Chain A
Amino acid sequence: MDKEVISTKQAIFTFILFNIGSFIIFGSGSDVKQDVWISILLGLIMSLPMLFIYSRILMLYPGKDLYDIILYVFGKILGRFICLVFLWYSFHLGTLVIRNFSGFVNVVSFPETPPFIFIILITLLAIWIVKAGIEVLGRWSAFIFPITISIITLTIMLSMSNAHFLNLKPLLYNGLKPVFKTAFSIYSFPFAESVILTMVFNTVKEHKKIFKVFLVGNSIGCLTMTVSALRNILVLGPELTTNFFFPSYIAVRTVNIGDFVQRFEIVVAIVFIFGGFIKISVCLLAATKGLAKLFSVSDYRQLTVPVGFLMVNFANIIYESDMEMFYWATKIYQFYAIPFQLVFPVIILIAAKIKQKAEEGKQGQEPQPAQ
C-alpha cells in the first residue's frame, strides 16, 4: 500500500470544513427558535463521547482505517458484512450532500438549469480530488479554510448592524424538551457524522493526536455554527428564521450598509460550496476505500470514477422534491443514522478491545512453554 500522510493541522481543517459544510447553510432548529444555540452546544457535548470512541478505535491500530480494523477484528465474512454497512453509509451521506448542494443552487440562483448539471459538476471535481489522494484533499482544506472562516466572520460582522438582541429573549420559553430534541438532531447532523472520517484519517501523521484532531475540529466547527445560528436569529427574528430553508442566506441578504455594501449573499453560497465539496469528497473517498477493501482491490483509486457516477445517479433520483429532502434531513435522518454513528462503532470498539486483550494474553502465554 502506498503511504499517504497528512499533517494534524490539515486534518483539523478538513474536519472543520466537513463539519460546517452543509449545516451552516441549512441551520436547523425548527422547534426551538431562539434557543437553537443552546441546542448546538448540547449537541457538541453529546457528541464528545462519540468522538472519543471514534478516535479510540483508530488509535488501537495505528495506520489502519476503520475497514481494516473491522476486517481484522471480525474476520473476513462478518467483517465484510459490517464493512458493507459503513460503505453504504458513506455512499449515502455523500449522495445526500450532493443533493443538498444541487437543491440549494437550484433554488437560490439557477432556477432554470436542470439540477443534474450541478450534481455532475461537483461530483466530477470530487472524483478528481479523490483520485489525487488524501494529501491533496488535506492541502486543499488548508488552503480554503482561512478563506471560508474570513467570509463567515465578515458576514457576521456586517450583519450586526441589523441585529436585535431582544430576539434572544425569553430563554427556554418552551422548556427543555424541544431543546434536547433539536440537540439530538444536531448531534447526528453534523457532529456524529465524523464517523466517516475514521475511514479516512488513518493517514494522519501523528497518530497519538487523533483525538485532538477530532476535539479541536468539532469545537471550532461548533463555535462557527453557534455564531452563525445566533446571527440568523438576531437578524431575522426567531419566527422568521424557521420559515426559510436557508436562513443564513436570507440573513446576509438583508445586509445593506449605506446602499453600498449590499447584495453579497452569494458569499454564503461560497462557504457552502467549499464545505460541501470537502464533505462530498471525504464521503466519496470513504466509500471508494470501502469498496476496495470489500473486494480486495489493491488500489482504491481505480474505483473512484464508478463510485462517483453511482453517486451522481443516486443523487438524481433520491428525492422527488426539496420538501422531501428537508423532511428527511430534519425529521428522519437522526434516527436512521443511529446504527452507523452509535451502535456499530461501540460494538467495534468493544470487539477490538477484546481482540487486543486476547492477543496480549497469547503473546504473554507463548513465551511460557519455551521457558
Chain B
Amino acid sequence: MNRRKTAILLLLTFLCSFTLCGCWNYRDIEKYAIVSGFAIDKSEDGKRYFLTIELIDFETSGKEAKQVPKHVHSEGTTVFDAVRNIINETGRRLYWGHANLLIIGEDMAKEGIARILDFVLRDAEMREEMYVLVCADGSAKELFEHKMLISLSGADTFVNMIKNQKSLGKAPASQAYKIVDKLEEDGECIILPTIHEVESDGKEVAILVGTAVFKSDRLIGFLSPDETKYLLFAKNEFKTGLITLNEQPESNSANTMTLEVYTSHSKIKPIYSKNKLRMNVEIKTEVAIGEVETHIDYMSKKQLDKIERDAEQKVREYTTNVIKKIQNEYDTDILGFGKMLKADMPGVWRRSSRDWDEIFKSLEVNVKVDITLRNSALVSKAIKKKG
C-alpha cells in the first residue's frame, strides 16, 4: 500500500511538471518589440506596401526606465509580409497587442483601404478598436518622425488628438471595427480623421485637420475642420465644442462672441410624401456663453433671444452648406441618410437603394436648429470700457 502511494505520488509529480509549467512555449519580453502605432504607404515603385512602425523601447538610465519611441521601416508585397519583414531590421518579432493607431497614406487610401483593414481584423494579436487616420498630402512615413510636443510617442499623441476631439468636435473618431461595419452596411459611407504636416516655428509638426471623405473604400476628398464640425453636428457625433458668432476678421471690430456647447443631439428624419423623399435634420443644442468680446447686455430677454437666433442661424447655414457640398462635390452618403431611411422606411429604401447615389445628390435637406442658452458662466455682465 505504501509503495503504491509513493508510486502515485511520483507519477503525479512527473505529470504535473509537464502540465503546470504553463504554455507550450514561452515568450520573453526582451525578445519582443512593442508596437504603439504604424503607418502604411505605397512603396516607391507603387506596387508594394511600405510600413513605418513606431516601437516603444525601454531605456534604463540610473534607476528609472524611460520610454523611447523608435521607428523602423519595411516593405512587403502584403501587409503581413511587410510586418514580418521587420525581423530583418529589428531582429525581434513585434508585439501588436498595444498598437492603437493606423495611419494610411493618401496614395494608399485613394486605392482603397478595405484590403488593409482585413489584416487588422483577422490577426488575433492586433486589436480592432485601433484608431485609423488618413495622412493628407504626402506619405505617412514622416509623421512619426517629428518631435512631439507633449508625449514622446507619436502614436500616443495622435490618438490623444482624436480622443480629445470630444471637447473640440473638429474631427471624427473612427475605430477599425466600426469602419469595417460601415463599409459593409448599406447606406452610409465612411469618414476618417485627417492628419498632415505643417511648418511651425521652423519645424515640421503634424496636426489634425478635418475629415477624409470616402466613397466605398476609396478616398475622394477632404473637409476642413470647420466643415467637419457642422458635419458632426448633423451626424449626431458632436459632443461638446464651440460656436463662434459675428466673427469679422478683416474689420477688427471685436464684437465676437463664443458659445460653448454642452450637449448636442441631432436626428435625421426621412420624410416621404407625394412620391418625393426629403430629409429633415433636427439639431438640438444646449450652449452657454463662453466668451464675450464686446459689451452687450445679455441679461435682457431680447438680447438673449437674439443670441440664440444668431447661433441657430449660423449652425443652420453652415450645416446646410456642408451638406450641399457633400451632395454636389462628393456625392457620397457620409451623413448616413441611407441608413436612416433603411431603418425608418425599409420599403422606400428597397426601391431606391439601387440608384441611391443619384437620389442622394438631388435630395432636399431641411436643417432645423434649436439652441438653448443655459448660462453665462461666472460673469453677469461683459466688461464695459470707459468713454
**Is B129 in contact with chain A by the CB < 8 A criterion?**
yes
The answer to whether residues A238 and B19 also contact, given A108-B124, A243-B121, A254-B129 and a CB cut-off of 8 A, is no
Which residues of the partner chain B approach A166 to less than 8 Å between Cβ atoms?
A: 339-340, 343
Q: What DSSP secondary structure best describes chain B's contact surface? A: helix
Measured between C-beta atoms, what is the minimum distance from A43 to chain B in Å? 24
Question: How many angstroms between the C-alpha atoms of A204 and B214 in the bound complex?
Answer: 61
Which residues of the partner chain A approach B128 to less than 8 Å between Cβ atoms?
A: 250, 253-254
Question: How many angstroms between the C-alpha atoms of A194 and B279 in the bound complex?
Answer: 51
Which residues of the partner chain B approach A365 to less than 8 Å between Cβ atoms?
A: none
Question: In this complex, what residue of B is CB-closest to A238?
Answer: B185
Structural contact, B181 and A240, CB atoms closer than 8 A: yes
Pick the contact of A236: B24, B181, B342, B349 (CB < 8 A).
B181
Measured between C-beta atoms, what is the minimum distance from A111 to chain B in Å? 7
Which residues of the partner chain B approach A110 to less than 8 Å between Cβ atoms?
A: 23-24
**Is A160 in contact with chain B by the CB < 8 A criterion?**
no
The answer to whether residues A170 and B181 also contact, given A112-B24, A112-B25 and a CB cut-off of 8 A, is no
The answer to whether residues A107 and B124 also contact, given A113-B23, A239-B185 and a CB cut-off of 8 A, is yes
Structural contact, B185 and A169, CB atoms closer than 8 A: no
Chain B proximity mask over A86-129: 1 for CB below 8 Å, otherwise 0 = 00000000000000000000011111111001000100000000
Structural contact, A113 and B25, CB atoms closer than 8 A: yes
Measured between C-beta atoms, what is the minimum distance from A176 to chain B in Å? 14
> Which residues of chain B from 3 to 28 have any CB-CB distance to chain A below 8 Å in the complex?
19, 23-25
Measured between C-beta atoms, what is the minimum distance from A8 to chain B in Å? 36
Measured between C-beta atoms, what is the minimum distance from B188 to chain A in Å? 10
Structural contact, A253 and B129, CB atoms closer than 8 A: yes
Place the interface of chain A in its size category. Answer: 20 to 34
> Which residues of chain A from 153 to 196 have any CB-CB distance to chain B below 8 Å in the complex?
166, 169-170, 173
**Is B346 in contact with chain A by the CB < 8 A criterion?**
yes
Question: How many angstroms between the C-alpha atoms of A254 and B176 in the bound complex?
Answer: 10
Measured between C-beta atoms, what is the minimum distance from B343 to chain A in Å? 4
> Which residues of chain A from 196 to 247 have any CB-CB distance to chain B below 8 Å in the complex?
236-240, 243
Which residues of the partner chain A approach B181 to less than 8 Å between Cβ atoms?
A: 236-240
Pick the contact of B185: A108, A111, A112, A237 (CB < 8 A).
A237
> Which residues of chain A from 306 to 365 have any CB-CB distance to chain B below 8 Å in the complex?
none
Question: How many angstroms between the C-alpha atoms of A112 and B93 in the bound complex?
Answer: 14
Which residues of the partner chain A approach B346 to less than 8 Å between Cβ atoms?
A: 170, 173
Measured between C-beta atoms, what is the minimum distance from A336 to chain B in Å? 29
Question: How many angstroms between the C-alpha atoms of A43 and B339 in the bound complex?
Answer: 29
Measured between C-beta atoms, what is the minimum distance from B101 to chain A in Å? 14
Chain B proximity mask over A240-278: 1 for CB below 8 Å, otherwise 0 = 100100000010011010000001000000000000000
The 3 closest A-B pairs by CB, nearest first: A237-B181, A113-B24, A169-B343
- List, sorted by A's number, 21 A–B pairs whose CB atoms are closer than 8 Å: A112-B25, A121-B19, A169-B342, A170-B344, A170-B346, A170-B349, A236-B177, A237-B178, A237-B181, A238-B185, A239-B180, A239-B184, A240-B180, A240-B181, A243-B121, A243-B180, A243-B184, A253-B127, A253-B129, A254-B129, A263-B97
